[in-house]
Structure formats: C-alpha cells, structure tokens
Chain A
Amino acid sequence: MTKVKDQILIDRLAEAAREGRISRRSFMNYSLAAGMTASAATGLWATSAKAQPKSGGHFRLGAHDGNTSDTHDPGTYVSFSMIQLAHTFRSYLTLIEPDGSLGPDVASEWSATPDAKEWTFKLNPNATFHSGRKVTANDVVASLNHHRGEDTTSAAAALVSDIEEIVDNGDNSITVKMAGGNADLPWLMTDYHLAICPANEDGSIDWRSGDGCGPYRLVNAEMGVNYELERHDGWHLDGAYFDKVTITVLNDPNARQTALVTGDVDAVTQIELKTKSLLQRDPNIAIDEVPSAATVTHPMFCDQAPFDDVNVRNALKLSMDRQEIIDKIFFGTASLGNDFHHSPAMPYWPDDIPQREYDPEKAKSLLKKAGAEGLEVTLHTADSVVSGAVDMAVLYSEQAKQSGITINVKREPNDGYYSDVWLKKPWCMVQWGARPTPDVMYSLAYKEDAAWNESHWENDRFNELLVKAKAELDDAKRAEMYREMALLARNDGGTVIPIFTNFVYARRKNVQHGENLAPSWQMDGARACSRWWFA
C-alpha cells in the first residue's frame, strides 16, 4: 500500500519537474522523503526534469507601460516596455544572472586597483553589433560618455557622476577612473540606461538607428505599440533560444490577462494582483513570483518638526502593521520591510536584524518621551506611486490610530508628483525601483549630501561607513559595514519602509525557464526573451 502511495508521489514529483514547477532542491527533498535513494532521485531528476533549453519558435510577450513618445535614447529610458526591449536588443557591460549574482556581458572580465578607484573592463572579442561590426572599446567609451558631461540629458547622470575619465586602453579593454573608490562599479554597469550603442565619429552614440549588440536584432519598432525582433546569430553569450520575438505593448491589465488566456501572447509582465488567484486556476498558465528590491518608501524630513525627534520617527515606524498591508493591499505579493533600504534580493543583506513589529503601546511610550502625544501629521501620496498607494496610506492611518497618532492622508495629482511633492513635502510616499546594490541605494537617497536625500537624514557614522564600504573590496568586511548601516537606518533614519514588492508575471505553460529568475526586473531581469524557451 505504501509502495503505491509512494509511487503516486514520485510520479507527481516527476510531473512537477517536467513542468518546471519545482526546484531541484525541493525535488530531491521530497523524493528522499518518498523513500528514494539519493542516486535514484538524481537520475529521476535528470530524466524527467524539464528538458534542456531548445531553440525555435516565435515568442510573443505582452509588456505593460509603453508610450507612443518612447525613444531609443538610452539616457531617457523610463517606461518598462523600453527597459524590456533594451535588454532584448542591446547589451550592457555586465549583467545580473538569474541567481542574482553579477555576470559578464560585453565585458568578459574586470578588475580593480586596490583602492577601487580604477576599474579595467576587458571586452568580449566576440561581441558584435547587428550591423556586423565588432563592438570596440571606442563604442563602450562613447556609450558611457553619453551619460556624462555638463550637457547630458541622461537620467543616469547622477549614477556615473563619480567617474572622472574613461580610457580606451587600445587592447580591447577600457579603464574607468573615479574620484573615489567604488567597489560596486561593475554592478552599476548593469543599469538599464548604460546600454552599449555604436559610436559615431565625433564620440557621440548612434541610438536612433536601433542598432545594438544584444541577443535579438530589431526588425520593426513602432513605439508604444509593438516591436518585432529576430535572433542575432553570433550573439556573444549563451541563450537566445527563440527564432523570433514580438513585444507588444499592452497597457491595460485586463488586455494583458485576456491576451494570455486566449493565447494571443505567450507571456505577460505585471499581472493584476487582485485577479491573480483567478488566473492561477487556468491550467495552461503559470505565474512567476519573485521577491525584489523594489519598494515604496515613506521618507520624513528629519530636520523638520515633528520628525526631527527620533522618537517620533520610530513611533511612526512602530505604528504600521506591515503584515496587514501585505495581505490587504498587495494580496500577499510582497515581503516585509524593516525600515532600511536593503532587501534580501540585494547582495550583503544582513539576515540577523530583528523584524520591526506593529507595537502601538511602544509607539505611545515613545511619543510620551518626545512630548508629542496626540501627534497629527500629513502623509502625501498619489495613486501613481504604486497600485493601491492611497488605500495603503488610509490603512496605515487607521493602524496608527491605535498609537494615538492622526495621519491625514493627502492625495496629490499623479501628474508632476515627482517634481512637486517628492523632496518638497515633509512626508510622502515614493516608489523606488530595484537597485543592484545597497551602496547604489544608500548613495542615491540616504547620503547626507545626495540630491535625493529624501528624508534629509544626516547621520555621521552612517555616512562614514558608506564611504568606507564603497571602496572596500573585501566582501566580509563590507557585509559587516552594511549590517551596521542597516541598523542605523532602521533605528535612527527617517524612512518608513513597509514592504518590498514582488515581481508577479505570468506565462503559458509551454514557455519554460531555468531554476532561478533574476530579481533585478520583471521577466527574469527583463531578459526573458533571451533566457526562456519553448518546451
């Protein structure tokens, strides 16, 4: 009897493995529990686990967030469909692997001087543009320079502002010289703006033609409507299994969902969380959910009453029931935030910092200490911050009532939110996309003199550590510094970070992917078109 039962279990496991619903590790665990020997389980995994990637087919992807006014200028990339497209037809110096680690792209290897001030990237000699021309150091220098200089119009200008000079070494490598040490530079090179484009003779780049050195060649592009691509034979990395790729912009969540259900597309980005459980019932559809480093922060001006008192700041942090927000606003598709801007999806994440719980009593006592009982504050928000942002603010204000705090929710217009509200109002909600490393995030929005220091937080120890950690090439020492910085931000900082959102996207079951999905962007780090394949 047990034997039959075990056999059923094993069959089911094999089926799950075939459909790619189960990771190798869980497969082994369950198989051993079902009474198989380790070697038998390994054999079964090898025979039944989903087939190795195979080439062929026309992959149709429905992507959200596309506009008629999008352009190929990598400096002004802003909508998600363009980021998706950029990772399909362009390449970067480095990339984020499915397991979240850093991997080679146009640069095949890189090394730094001990002070991390100079980084040398060796270029992959096999990298070619779709026009057939080889990718040279000159192209890479021009591509990076596009975001530098006084008259640059690039949104990545702040990211590369530390770079003083980029040198073509003449041996198919480049050296980036910086004002201060930065151990994260290879990670920065994954930023979606820093695409490698062909250089013009005058040192600018040719972004208009749509030529790139990515896995697919752009055949036809109608901005904000659809993009047709064909495989770039001779791409310098592994992958690019599909023969053809079409990315269709489907801004309406319902249109994306129906297109997927009816088979008009093979995969879609960003599904509606409200209807996720309904979509899950469709036997032909698989939903992928990946914890990310994207979040919604609530920065308060630490130099302005009442937020200039750390007790008030912490009382506000304690007055939020994060689990309820995850359950009710994000329908379970988020993970707990702990008031420091460093998610488990980033490297160096400290896993031993206690989770901040909802504790109105403690919040009350902190307020008493601060002499701020009956605190009344205004939280500015807009629907565009994140789907459900206003609801989230209202829920938070209800939760905060338990601590005797009145939060007035002020709904602002979506238009111009980031020019008129963010960095202007003392307390508001801000959407942050995933950044690759803690240093990038902290340098952008928590460093005392950063233009985007959204909470006006100035902590000497934190800033000292930030500079030190930035140039530290020893991973263990770095991790320890980031741990201390996380604690400082959590206990002294002025930013409430309730959650980190998950990426939730869906595909038809005949589309398969590897064991891991990159946490940097939706659709496997926006590289689904070159990493996935048809069963």
Chain B
Amino acid sequence: MGDILSLVAKRLGLGLLILFIISIIIFFMVELLPGDIAQAVLGQGATEENVAALRKEMGLDKPAIVRYLEWLGGAVQFNFGNSIVTGESVTATIGPRFMNTLFLATYAAVIAVPFAIVLGIIVALLRNSIFDRVANVATLSAISSPEFFLGYILILYFAVNMGAFPAISSLSEDMGTWELLNRTFLPALTLVLVVTAHMMRMTRAAIINLLASPYIEMARLKGVPPWRVIVKHALPNAWAPIINVVALNLAYLITGVVLVEVVFVYPGIGQALVDAVSKRDFPVVQACCLIFAATFILLNLAADVGAILTNPRLRHPK
C-alpha cells in the first residue's frame, strides 16, 4: 500500500501547484475582460464620478498584482475573501450552490454509472445484435445533441405533454426528500443521457477487447456460459479503462452542468460562475474555477488509484 500512498501524496502536491497556476491564469483573464466591475455593476447608469466612488469602495483602486497577492494571502489560509459586488463571504455565497450541484451530480451518477456499465456488459454480450445497434445509436444520439436541446425535449414530453414532472427545478428549503427527487428528476435524467454513451461504449470496447484473449477462449472451451465469461473473467481485467472514463464523466457532471442549470433553472454553481464572470466578481470566479479544477484533479487521482488497485500489475512498473 505504501507505494499508493506515496503516489497520492505526490499527486496531491502537484495538484496544489496546478491550482496555484490556475489561480494566476484566472485572475489575469478576468483582468483582461473589457470594462471593469464598477462599470458592470452600474451598467448604463455609470457616470465618471460614481464609477470612481464605487471602484474605491470595492478596493479596485489598488494595482492588480496587489489585489491578487491579498487574495492569495487569504486563500492559503482557506479564506477566499468576500464577493466584491455583494460584500458577502465567498464561502457563504458559493457553499449552498456547490452543495446543490453536488446533489444533482450524485443523483445523476447514481443512476448513470450502474446503468451505463450494466448496459455496456449487456451489449458486449449481445454484440452485433439488433439490441447492440439500437443501444449504440440511441446513446450516441443522446451524447451528440446539446444538453439544452435534450433538456427541452424532456421538458416537452415529461413536463408539458404528460405533466409527470415539473418543468423548472427551483428549490425551496422546506422541500421533502421525495419532492426534491421529483423536482430534480428531469435535469438528472438529462445528465444521465449525456454521460451514458461514453461509459457504456468504453465498457463494451474494453470487454470485447479481452474476448479474443486465450484465457477467455479457455473459459469458453470449458463450457462456461457467455454471461459468466464476461462478468467473471473479462470484466475484472477491463476495470481500469472503465474507471478512467467513469471518473472523467463524474467530473463532467460537476463542471459541465451550466446549460442544464439554465434550462431547468436549477440554482447550482455553474449559474453562479456565469453571473460572477459577467460582473467581473473575481473572488467568486476564482473560487468556482478552483472548485472545478480541484474536482478534476481529485477525480483523476481517484481514477489512477482505482486502476492500480484493480490491476496489481500496474503497481510494479518495469
């Protein structure tokens, strides 16, 4: 296990370095945007005097590098500052939003991952049959359509025509679990449709790859039924690539949901990020982006660790 722990430690250290570099890039990208936060807040009503007053109030009269260093000084102590526009702490602004996004991502993942892997196994078993073709075409069509389009289609059939689910997923605090699941079903389903194809096809490909191996032929020759060949013999060796794809898709569920949030009016972090960018609210932008970056880094790490654990050979690189 020691080798895994040292790998995790190494990768986490590298991850911190990456986060630091990303924070610099994001800060200066926000600086590069035309107009500044005071103008964005005052909009068309901006005059020279009130823009200057607002800039001063927001602390924008200091040079960019000073503002960045101030932010960095706070960030290393886990204090991500206050939103420039609203003056509230970034943690309080983003926290509930991020929990909402995590909830939706978990909801979708709990449905999508088992569904995709089981479907992948079934189509590997029934490869080149009609079922295989139909499943492939259907999932590929789903992944090829933009999310907002899928969302609109689902709304049209499930919300407008059938009235089975609500069209908008606005949340309120006094909602029970059942109502929450009901309200967020359509956005979760949209996400499921978007991520299923990738995972299913990787499962199928990884298994089929192995089916030509001698040990699978051996199993077949000894009379093992086809489903057992796949589940017991092929699947354990196919986990590594599958875990990789699952991890990537989980990251996508968290970072790629902004369109789904807009279509279903779901108060997640993507919407907060878009608002913050349009107002040049740097501390909020920074926090959102770092959350996204950290999600990718951690899930990639998890994928590698998972792959190593399921395939002992990877622990002894030649």
A binds B: yes
User: Which residues of B154-186 have CB atoms within 8 Å of chain A's CB atoms?
Assistant: 155, 159-160, 163, 166-168, 170, 172-173
A252 within 8 A of B: yes
Closest CB in chain A relative to B170 CB, distance in Å: 5
CB of A218 to closest CB in B, whole Å: 15
Nearest residue, chain B, Cβ from A259: B168
In the assembled complex, which residues on chain B have CB atoms less than 8 Å from the CB atom of A262? 159-160, 163, 166-167
Chain B binding surface, main DSSP class: helix
Residues A419 and B35 in contact, CB atoms below 8 Å apart: yes
B86 touches A223 (CB 8 A): yes
Query: Does A395 touch B at the CB level, under 8 Å?
Result: no
B7 within 8 Å of A by Cβ?
no
A361 at the interface (CB under 8 A from B): no
The yes or no answer to B152 lying at the interface (CB within 8 A) is yes
A312 near B: Cβ within 8 Å?
no
List the 5 shortest-distance A-B pairs measured between CB atoms, nearest first.
A155-B45, A416-B35, A416-B34, A68-B275, A69-B85
**B45, B50, B279: the one within 8 Å of A67 (CB):** B279
Q: With CB as the reference atom, state the residue of chain A lying closest to B48.
A: A451
Contacts from B to A (Cβ < 8 Å): 33-35, 39, 41-50, 53-54, 56-57, 83, 85-87, 93, 97, 152, 155, 159-160, 163, 166-168, 170, 172-173, 262-265, 267, 271-272, 275-276, 278-279, 281, 284
Contacts of B271 in A (CB 8 A): 68, 224
Of B50, B152, B168, the residue contacting A152 (CB under 8 A) is: B50
Binding-face segment, A1-9, A22-30, A243-251, A515-523: A243-251
Asked whether any CB of chain B lies closer than 8 Å to the CB of A270, the reply is no
- A222 interfacial contact with B, CB 8 Å: yes
Using a CB-CB cutoff of 8 Å, which residues 56-90 of chain A contact chain B? 62, 67-71, 76, 78
Rounded to whole angstroms, the CA-CA distance of A228 and B49 in the bound complex is: 35
Of the residues A150, A258, A418, A431, contact of B167 by C-beta under 8 Å: A258
Q: A71-B87, A151-B56, A157-B47 are in contact. List 20 more A-B contacts (CB 8 A).
A: A62-B168, A67-B275, A68-B275, A152-B49, A156-B45, A157-B50, A158-B45, A224-B272, A226-B170, A250-B265, A252-B263, A252-B265, A258-B159, A258-B167, A262-B163, A262-B167, A418-B39, A418-B43, A422-B44, A451-B47
How far does the Cβ of A205 sit from chain B's closest Cβ, in whole Å? 15
Instruction: Check B35 against A415 for contact (C-beta < 8 Å).
Output: yes
Q: How far is the CB of A354 from chain B (nearest CB, A)?
A: 31
Which residues from chain B contact A422 at a C-beta distance below 8 Å?
Answer: 44
B160 and A248 within 8 A (CB): no
CA–CA, A451 to B49, complex, Å? 11
Is A388 positioned at the interface, with any CB of B under 8 Å from its CB?
A: no
Complex-state Cα separation, A225 to B264, whole angstroms: 12
| Min C-beta distance of B61 to chain A, whole Å | 13
Given the interface pairs A69-B275, A223-B86, A264-B167, the reply to whether A155 lies near B155 with Cβ below 8 Å is no
Tell me if A154 is interfacial: C-beta within 8 Å of chain B.
yes
CA distance A154 to B51 in the complex (A): 9
Please tell me if A46 contacts chain B, counting CB pairs below 8 Å. no
A: number of interface residues (CB 8 Å):
46
> Are A252 and B262 in touch, CB under 8 angstroms?
yes
Asked whether any CB of chain B lies closer than 8 Å to the CB of A33, the reply is: no
Shortest CB-to-CB span from A17 to chain B, Å, is 31
Contacts of B152 in A (CB 8 A): 254
Q: How long is the Cα–Cα vector from A37 to B196 in the complex, in angstroms?
A: 70
- Identify the A interface with B (CB < 8 A): 62, 67-71, 76, 78, 150-158, 220, 222-226, 228, 248-252, 254-255, 258-259, 261-262, 264-265, 413, 415-416, 418-420, 422, 431, 451
With both beta carbons as reference points, the residue of chain A lying nearest to B280 in the complex is identified as: A415
B158 to chain A, nearest CB (A): 10
Asked if A69 and B83 make an inter-chain contact with CB atoms under 8 angstroms apart, the answer reads yes
A-B contact pairs, 22 of them (CB 8 A): A67-B275, A67-B278, A68-B276, A69-B83, A69-B275, A69-B276, A78-B42, A150-B53, A152-B49, A155-B45, A155-B50, A225-B267, A248-B170, A250-B168, A250-B265, A251-B265, A255-B263, A259-B168, A262-B159, A264-B166, A415-B34, A416-B34
- Nearest residue in B to A76 (C-beta to C-beta)? B41
**Contacting pair B86 A151 (CB below 8 A):** no
Task: Determine how close the nearest CB of chain A comes to the CB of B35; give it in whole angstroms.
Answer: 3
Q: Within 8 Å CB of A249, what residues of B?
A: 265
Taking CB atoms, residues of chain A closer than 8 Å to B85 are 69, 71
Residues of A within 8 A of B48 (CB): 451
| Smallest beta-carbon distance B40→chain A, Å | 8
